Amino acid sequence: MKVLCAMSGGVDSSVAAHLLQGAGHDVVGVTMKLWGGATDTGCCSVSDVDDARRVAQQLDIDHLVFNFGDDFDRGVVGPYVDAHVAGQTPNPCIECNRTVKFARLAERADALGFDAVATGHHAQVGRTADGRYTLLRGADPAKDQSYVVHMLDQARLARTLFPVGSMAKSQVRSIAADLDLRTAAKPDSQDVCFITSTGGRTAFLGDRIEMRPGRVVDTAGDEVGTVPAVEMVTVGQRKGLGLPGGGPKRYVLDVDVARAKVIVGDDADLMRSTEQVRDLTWIDEPVDGTVRVQASAHGATHLAELSIVDRTAGEITWLNPQRRIAPGQSVVFYDDADRGVLGGGRVAH
């Protein structure tokens, strides 16, 4: 099989390419050039491209570089900025997977005659008895990335490979070390590639939108503090709210960007029985009923009843009340065994 392996310059994708070779596939490595601005974090630096190219040389496979900068700006950076303007909290890495890594790259692979696309994600593709595709958690619980690839459907899963998904991360690094790959000891990428560690979100957004100071009010409507930029505040936030010290802990309950107002309350005020969800996607058919819901990349799952309004919208009713999830954040639905992904979406306002 002819496989296009996305190589980010990290150890997982490096070993993924090696495993595909060992399985007898015709492998070509590709690195996507996504972000043209300043970066000192994430997976888009010049050194990452160089690491991927050097590993491809070590493995004796061809290596390509695709420039998807315009797609990245349109599908990831633009929505990230827009979400903050609307008082939401985006997941840019998920949108990168949705619009670039498993959309534009797959389109290019199809056009070039590749049979499948492979990545170094810690997730697994399975099959049911009747031949339907499933998306399962990675074998290493600490490194599972099924949450960030939950948008894959049957058509895409049929042409996607996750070679390291069945392995522990320690095994991956051991293989890389045995091969003397230059990425063997390279740390995992943890941050958003276009947000620098020096400037952070404030500098990035400040160059693109007008930041407005906001009032912080309690649930009675009394002003208790101020924030320098209401667009930078997220539901659940506790610090940076201009509140006097020594009082009870207060958390952001809601962000009203239009009125430049942040509402705060105590921990009990954060608890919710329901969440509205939108932009739903499904691994197979839509699912109603009891599911396990995960609301962050490595967070715990909680039981809920999922009611579908239509294929793209619905409501989560928690079996036990949970803290409110910031609007714009992704929620992913798992089966009763907490292993298979059913689908996912975004929390609505």
Alpha carbons 306 and 196: distance in angstroms, whole number: 38
Contact 150/3 with Cβ under 8 angstroms?
A: no
Q: Is 165 exposed, middle or buried (0-12, 13-18, 19+ CB in 10 A)?
A: buried
Q: Is 299 exposed, middle or buried (0-12, 13-18, 19+ CB in 10 A)?
A: exposed
Q: Which residues contact 310 (CB under 8 A, 6 or more apart)?
A: none
Q: Helix, strand, or coil here: 71?
A: helix
Q: Which of 5, 43, 93, 193 is catalytic?
A: 193
Cβ-based neighbour number of residue 223 at 10 Å: 11
5 is catalytic: no
**Quick one: CA torsion of 200, 205, 206, 207, rounded to 10 degrees?**
110
96 is catalytic: yes
Inter-CA distances, 135 with 34, 148, 316, 319, Å: 26, 11, 21, 25
Alpha carbons 314 and 310: distance in angstroms, whole number: 7
List the one residue out of 332, 280, 277 whose CA is nearest residue 301: 332
Token pair recorded at residue 30: 């590709």
Q: Which of 43, 44, 93, 96 is catalytic?
A: 96
Q: Is 247 exposed, middle or buried (0-12, 13-18, 19+ CB in 10 A)?
A: exposed
Q: Considering just the CA atoms, what is the radius of gyration of the chain in Å?
A: 21
227 forms beta bridges with 214
Token pair recorded at residue 110: 């199809």
- Residues assigned a catalytic role: 96, 193
